[in-house]
Structure 1
């Protein structure tokens, strides 16, 4: 399913962390030239990826909102959750493959599609069923935009960076926080309290930052210890910077 020069096929575009200026030149060109775009969203919501390209799409573009059948209503490890999501990805794999026989379909994904991205589930299905992997355009991951928003380097020297999700059980968060120098915790949202408890147990709460909607007009950056316990957006990231080896200053 070759997608170069508008030929029929599927190409997934990583849109970066939120600021349109941080989108790659290739991603920008594909988005502006797209005649058919697909994107994930929660039912009743505009969809984060779709919001990121507002004003960039050509007039008359055909849109295919891929609405999740379930998000936070069920535990992610429940049989029903897994079954509904599997059927959802199977259905959209079939639909996109059919469209791609005659059209180029640009799938929009925030951040980088291969880092906790929903498109990965379509990518593997499409590769197995069609024999050809869709093209994927890399994007700057959201966590990169967030640690730049703090104004501090995330790692120094030999620091070990650990990336984890806030959906992990508290004890597992603690175990992983104890074995890394620098931390990135994604998928915060309603998991904020669990993440805060884990950081407190490991003695790292005072060093943690919370970045909400990083690189966007609504960006908020604060020390996590100074933030209230109210649930924060799903698009929030908790960071703990490494403090590793570095040359001594000469002055």
Structure 2
């Protein structure tokens, strides 16, 4: 049996990839990655120029992305069948060769690879290489620490109902909101309701060449897929009284 390696790629800048992931990717004969149909895919873009000349690429194209609501039975069934199919394909491939699966950020932090892992763990030899998360790259890009002292950091999804978001936002000292895109107006409204909109930043394409950082209060409408909302904490820290 071959070995399946999932290589965490980090937040987007190839220089922020770990040495272990880099070694696995540059040596791989077979590389798989997720992407939207008709797109090159973010994971594939990150490794441009790193793959062997004789590499065999396996593009795992999602059957749906935003065409169906994520909370519908149809969406759930389409994604479940997709992951079942690719888990079976990978298991068959591993009977004769290794494979490396690419994953943006960290594979175990909201990564699509988790769904393959849950189907293949215990059946094949697996290695998961951690990566710097996208949110880490984004808050570093702002030039401000995200947490201090006893600050509580909450990571929320923009797909949550607004009332749920507001309750979690009100409790947290520092915030990361992912899955923004078309949810950005709802996120903005929730932050405004708890008095944190003026402290929020929108970071698009963090660590990438087209990175952009703006105050969320100055942004109207929606935003790209690779965008994160941040609210920095201001907690306890050693200071000399004036």
TM range (shorter): over 0.9
The equivalent residue for 1:5 is: none
In the other structure, the counterpart of 1:4 is none
Check whether the contact 1:9–1:101 (CA below 8 A) recurs between aligned residues.
no
| Structure 2 counterpart SS, 1:44 | coil
1:34 touches 1:58 (CA, 8 Å); kept in 2? yes
Shift of 1:228: 2.4
1:214 counterpart = 2:183: no
Contact 1:123 1:133 in 2 (8 A): no
Unaligned runs of 5+ in 2: none
Aligned position for 2:232: 241
Deviation string, structure 1 residues 47-94 (Cα, Å, up to 9, x no partner): 110111011111021000000001111111100000000000000000
Question: Is the CA contact (8 Å cut-off) linking 2:8 and 2:102 kept in structure 1?
Answer: yes
1:21 aligns with 2:15: yes
Which of 36, 58, 61 is the aligned partner of 1:42?
36
Would you say how many aligned residue pairs link Structure 1 and Structure 2? Answer: 242
Per-residue CA deviations over 1:170-216 (Å, capped at 9, x if unaligned) read 11110110111000001111111110011011110000000000000
Per-residue deviation, 1:100: 1.1
Asked if the contact 2:3–2:125 (Cα under 8 Å) also holds between the matched residues in 1, the reply is: no
TM norm structure 2: 0.97
Question: Are 2:165 and 1:177 equivalent residues in the alignment?
Answer: no
Name 1:11's counterpart in structure 2. 5
Distance between the aligned counterparts of 1:220 and 1:194, measured in 2? 21
Per the normalisation by structure 1, the TM-score is 0.94
Matches of 1:150 and 1:96 in 2, distance apart? 39
Q: Secondary structure at the match of 2:121?
A: helix
Partner of 2:116: 122
Task: Answer yes or no: is the 8 Å Cα contact 1:30–1:106 preserved in 2.
Answer: yes
Q: CA deviation at 1:250?
A: 6.8
- Secondary structure of 1:134's aligned partner: strand
Query: Which aligned runs of 4 or more in structure 1 are off by greater than 3 angstroms?
Result: none
Q: How does 1:75-86 map to 2 (within 5 A)?
A: 75-86=69-80
Superimposed CA distance per residue, residues 102-144 of structure 1 (whole angstroms, 9 cap, x where no aligned partner): 111000000000000000000010015x1x4621000000000
1:162 equivalenced with 2:157 (yes/no): no
Distance 1:104 1:220 in 2: 38
Give the 3 Å change call, closer, same or farther, for CA 250–59 of structure 1 in structure 2.
farther
